[in-house]
Structure 1
């Protein structure tokens, strides 16, 4: 998955590596693979988003607009779009 991230979103590699290290540390700490499964599922969805430039632009724009929104309803609207795009990507990964 790291190789795919390097191809479609090389700027995300530092975040990818930190997330991997954190998931592995949590797995060891808790004696469970759940953190690793969650990390893999999350990054599979993010990489699926990044594979499609138009979707990636819409996703990042929605996240950005949610962060700078001045009204809760405005933030909620942008977060709903980002969430929808993320869910679609997650479903596409699971369908494979």
Structure 2
């Protein structure tokens, strides 16, 4: 595991880019999401076997690395949770608050992906 001290307090060090390391990290900071991770892995594996492309597994690993990044960094996690609350408190997808919250969710996910990209 490595650390990146440039963005403040982290709950755990950033895991290495391996399925096992990402799973261990998720188990430490968000164990309630392990079932979701496993289901997503099975879908990615099935798609990879069906069309013979490893890209499905690479996407899966990148997605879960980013999810761990969000969970391990309180700054990202609080922004993500606040945006989710905003999304759920809007009455329709036409609500400007819905669009703003969705934009914030995408921004957090993009920042997390960029932080873990090789």
Shared fold by TM > 0.5? yes
**Of residues 60, 80, 91 in structure 2, which corresponds to 1:39?**
60
Deviation at 1:37, TM superposition (A): 0.9
Runs of 4+, deviation exceeding 4 Å: none
CA–CA separation in structure 1 for the residues paired with 2:84 and 2:46? 28
Q: Which runs of 5+ in 1 are unaligned?
A: none
Q: Structure 2 unaligned segments of length 5 or more: list them.
A: 1-21
TM-score scaled by length of structure 1: 0.89
Bigger CA radius of gyration: 2
Question: Structure 1 residue 67: deviation in Å?
Answer: 3.5
| Aligned-partner Cα distance in 2 for 1:68–1:36 | 34
Match of 1:89 in 2: 112
The structure in which a higher percent of residues are helix is 1
- Computed over aligned residues only, the root mean square deviation of the Cα atoms, in angstroms, reads 1.4
SS at match of 2:117: helix
TM-score, with normalisation over the residues of structure 2?
Answer: 0.74
SS in 2 for 1:70: coil
1:80 corresponds to which of 103, 107, 118: 103
